[in-house]
A and B are shown apart, each in its own frame.
Chain A
Amino acid sequence: MRAKGGYKNRIELLQGTLDLIILQTLQWGPQHGYRISQAIVAGSRELFQVDTGSLYPALHRLEKRRWIKSEWRISDNNQRAKYYRLTAEGRKQLASERSRWAQFVEAMAALMKPGEHEVS
């Protein structure tokens, strides 16, 4: 069971980053919705909280854009689950989103620590 304090420390996802995070998670292989949410929480060292109210609409939105594709399979624990996998188009999108994210991080870093940025 998670400690109560763990929830308090969690950070809300930045708007518009959920798609990138889902694509990033799916690059390691097909996953179903529950496992994706688990992977995001674990991958962010339990800092990000994934709201299921956003996760499933986001998954279906990406599927509608043909960046991911879904199929029903039997999971490891013998449950029927809908697995999502990245399409070729989705991989391109992921690359593009990552590049934009890198720029964003760089710009934010420059803003937050202007002195260090100038020196470097």
Chain B
Amino acid sequence: MDWLSRLSRRRRDDEITEEIESHLRMAIQDRMERGEEAEQARLAAQREFGNVALVTDATRRIWTSTTVETFLQDVRFGSHILWHSPGLSATAIILVALVIGGNTTIYSMVHGLLTSPASGVTAERLVCIGQISPDSSRFGPFTSYPNYLDYAAQSTTVRQLAAWLDERLTIGVGDGNYAVSGAPVTVGFFETFGVRIVKGRAFRDEDDRLEHAGLVAVISDRLWRERLENAADVVGRTIVINGRAATVVGVATPRFQGANLTPGEDVWLPITAFHEAVGSRKILSDRRQASILIAGQLAPGVSLRQAQSEFAALSAQLRAAYPDDNKDRRAVVFDYSVTAFLPGKPRVGRSGREQSRRRRGRPGPDRRDANDDVAARHRDRARAHGCDVVDVFRRRVAGRRSARPVRHHHLQHATAYARFRHPPGAGRVIAASPARSRSGGVSTHRDRSPDWFRSQRGRGCHFQARPVRGCANGSPHLHRRLHAAGGGGGAGILSARLARGPGECYRGVEAGMTHRLFRAQRRHRVEARRAPRRPDAGRHRHHDEERSD
């Protein structure tokens, strides 16, 4: 209890003071007995003793924790100042409150500006599709219109894909011509963003065919009020856009001035009809011309990551189909906000924790799933060969720097190992894979016979199953367990690699060796090349072959 400890401390302080006083009294008495005068004896004793306060303090500190005491003293001193200077205290508190409040407000405003959707946009789960270089160093928000059409036709994860591009337009209304910002948009643009049309209607499919109804336009509430004087019959009225007559079919909600951060759009036109009208139809058929912005809504139950995977695969297909037009471009899906299309790298939906995990090479939940898949295949394969799988003992993820020459460097490999024991006489080699695979690590190999392995050895094929001694996991405990479980057979290690394509599309399972084993064998080859050939060289290899038989 606090009061008890305080009482005890005070009593100890009093004792120390009394002890020192007693020391001085005895010293004085001694001196007086030796013939010194009382005053002289007192002064001499005090001189000999030294600084009484200092000695008292040093002795007292033996019993107390000075750090706590100093802190408490500081607190006492600080509260004393604050209590006795209310003006200063109030000023300090108000200043601190103002600084905290100001910072919070500024942060909230900036955060709101950066992450909120454009005014008038009511749709949820909106995402944007941009393009990024394979090494993620360059980001561009624009895509070509033909690519947009392909994405719109094939995507299942993002629905109602809308495209638009910002244009400066000249609009002729009544008495004069005005320069305004506008946007040729795809037909479902307003539905995609959930923008309400307060007068008239949004675009229909037939509006995008110039020959059907001529050029039509949806205008902003601002344009309607300022240039068309709130005309009640605005819908159906004809205005002139870039010298072409256009019929107003709708007026957008007052707050909507474009889906991205622009000076404020006032006119929206069907994209194909507009370009046909102004004679720039070519821009819509040129796959190299990345000039349009794309956004859409995530389909129900679809995550951003799934959409990213799909678009990565779609863009890979486009790259394969049109290599010249889509060189160094990869589609990237990211969350929509009014500032989403501004220059800078978009957040592609990975949390900081996930990014950190990836940097450390530890698998996230999705990779764990992948590893589990590989592990299950191991078990099945080993059992099919009469092996008794002990368990899957190690799971890890190899990064891009796989020892295997992988052409698609963006592939990442989930690797799992299974340990097993096999009965005497059972085939030991379970799976193999050519080390110099040109397939980029996406081919699937069935189990082969030992003869096949022998024939492949000269072609750089590396066996996967091998005696547990010297395996990647060199735990003595594991060895003991495996040998104990062996029962006259042997123990082995089995690994497989799951290649993952861009955007986490698992494109195939490859039975291969671990990179560590590969490194070891490569080192062995290098050393063998350097070292003079010994008479017993190659014994180990033959031994392996014999065992595999």
Contacts and interface: CB of A to CB of B under 8 A. Distances in A.
Interface of A: 1, 32-35, 51-53, 56-57, 60-61, 64, 75, 77, 79-82
A56 B19 contact: yes
A54 to B, nearest CB: 8
B55 interface: yes
B25 A79 contact: yes
A35 B62 CA distance: 21
A52 B34 contact: no
B26 A34 contact: yes
A33 B26 CA distance: 10
Contacts of A80: 18, 22
A57 B59 contact: yes
B20 A56 contact: yes
Across chains A and B, which 6 residue pairs bring their CB atoms closest together, nearest first?
A: A60-B62, A34-B26, A56-B59, A34-B23, A82-B19, A57-B58
Interface of B: 15-16, 18-20, 22-23, 25-27, 29, 34, 36, 48-51, 54-55, 58-59, 61-63
Nearest to A36: B23
B453 to A, nearest CB: 71
B253 to A, nearest CB: 80
A80 B18 CA distance: 9
B56 to A, nearest CB: 8
A52 B50 contact: yes
B26 A79 contact: yes
Contacts of B59: 56-57, 60
A80 B20 CA distance: 11
B19 to A, nearest CB: 5
Q: Is the interface of B mostly helix, strand, loop or mixed?
A: helix
Contacts of A56: 16, 19-20, 23, 55, 58-59
Given A32-B23, A33-B23, A52-B48, 12 more contacts: A1-B36, A32-B22, A32-B26, A35-B26, A52-B49, A53-B55, A56-B20, A60-B16, A64-B63, A79-B22, A79-B26, A81-B22
Contacts of A79: 22, 25-26, 29
B127 to A, nearest CB: 69
Contacts of A33: 19, 22-23
A24 B97 CA distance: 63
Contacts of B25: 79
18 contacts: A1-B36, A32-B26, A33-B19, A33-B22, A34-B22, A52-B23, A52-B49, A52-B55, A53-B50, A56-B20, A56-B55, A57-B58, A57-B59, A57-B62, A60-B16, A79-B22, A81-B22, A82-B19
Nearest to A59: B59
Contacts of B61: 57
A52 B51 CA distance: 9
Given A53-B50, A56-B55, A82-B15, A61 B22 contact: no
A64 B62 contact: yes
Nearest to B61: A57
Contacts of B49: 52
Contacts of A1: 34, 36
